[in-house]
Amino acid sequence: MKTLRYSLGIVLVAVGLSLGATTPAAAQQRANFTQEFGGSTVLLTTGDTLRGPLALHRNEDVIRLTMPDNTVNTLSAVAVQSFAVKGQQADRRNYYDDFYDARSGYYYGSPYYNMPPRPRRERVDTSLVRVFRTYRWNHDNDYSDFKSPAFFEQLSGGPNILLRREALVERAVNNGPMYGGYGYNPYGVPRTSYYREIKDAFYLGLPSGNVLPLRNPKKDLLAAFRQQAKQIEQYAKDNKLDFSDPRELAFIVNYANSLQPKP
């Protein structure tokens, strides 16, 4: 029995260490988040176009473009009008989509032992073309008039465009209700572990160039289309569309745009 507990402890320590930070202060904080793509087309504010493999540094709103001569061109959002990417490279070191599912069944007594599986995020589609546009943004500080250029992913058509920003966040999890606090439990497993996941934040890009945050996507979107709110809500209900799902929310925004009076 002692040997079995020792083995389980080794497995769980390895899982806990592979998930990132090990200090309570890092819980629910943004982690450095970089995504790499095999190809891109970048339209600069000067009107020039560049192409090549691209790395998107999300926290800094910076892209690093590898040129044909293997030199690297670093560009901030202020220099970029828009860019399209494809061939996303999966990096399992950055995040763990199915953290709770992976923990289920490791040992009886785990708070996730009999927990139903969480909905999975969409898997990386290397053939998908993703479009990013630059908007001036107050970084969700509603009390500040200062805005700086930032990258937003375009998810719908216009004139009101559904936008998304992804962030990598670190969260804490307790390794069992009977092992509260910090330190290690009897299996040699840290009582508090940390994992990383991607968090979506949605926005509405308005024809004026302003960015409207959709902190509560359903409530805020219906408020933005107040005159058509009942029609939009009924459309979502009839088609079983989820306001928190990126793809389905894009359908809802496209429908909302179709209800707008033509200029």
What is the tens place of the pLDDT at every residue in 82-134?
Answer: 999 998 886 654 444 444 444 444 334 444 444 444 444 555 566 789 999 99
Residues comprising the chain, all counted: 263
Out of 176, 200, 215, a domain closes at: 215
Out of 215, 232, 253, a domain closes at: 215
The answer to whether residues 222 and 191 belong to one domain is no
What phi and psi, each to the nearest 5 degrees, are found at residue 9? -60, -40
The answer to whether residues 231 and 211 belong to one domain is no
The answer to whether residues 180 and 82 belong to one domain is yes
Preceding amide of 119 cis, omega within 30: no
The answer to whether residues 75 and 191 belong to one domain is yes
The answer to whether residues 189 and 73 belong to one domain is yes
The answer to whether residues 197 and 221 belong to one domain is no
How do residues 203-239 score in pLDDT, each as one tens digit? 999 999 999 999 999 999 999 999 999 999 999 999 9
The answer to whether residues 135 and 8 belong to one domain is yes
The answer to whether residues 118 and 205 belong to one domain is yes
Range of the domain at 243: 216-263
Which pLDDT score, from 0 to 100, does residue 193 have?
63
The answer to whether residues 175 and 257 belong to one domain is no
Q: Across the strands, what pairs with 150?
A: 135
The answer to whether residues 47 and 117 belong to one domain is yes
The answer to whether residues 43 and 171 belong to one domain is yes
The pTM of this model reads: 0.73
Q: Which two tokens stand for residue 33?
A: 């988040």
Query: Per the structure, how many domains does the chain have?
Result: 2
- Rounded Cα distance between 221 and 256, Å, is 9
Which pLDDT score, from 0 to 100, does residue 241 have?
95
The answer to whether residues 249 and 160 belong to one domain is no
Q: Are strands 62-66 and 72-76 parallel, antiparallel or unpaired?
A: antiparallel
**Do the Cβ atoms of 163 and 155 come closer than 8 Å?**
yes
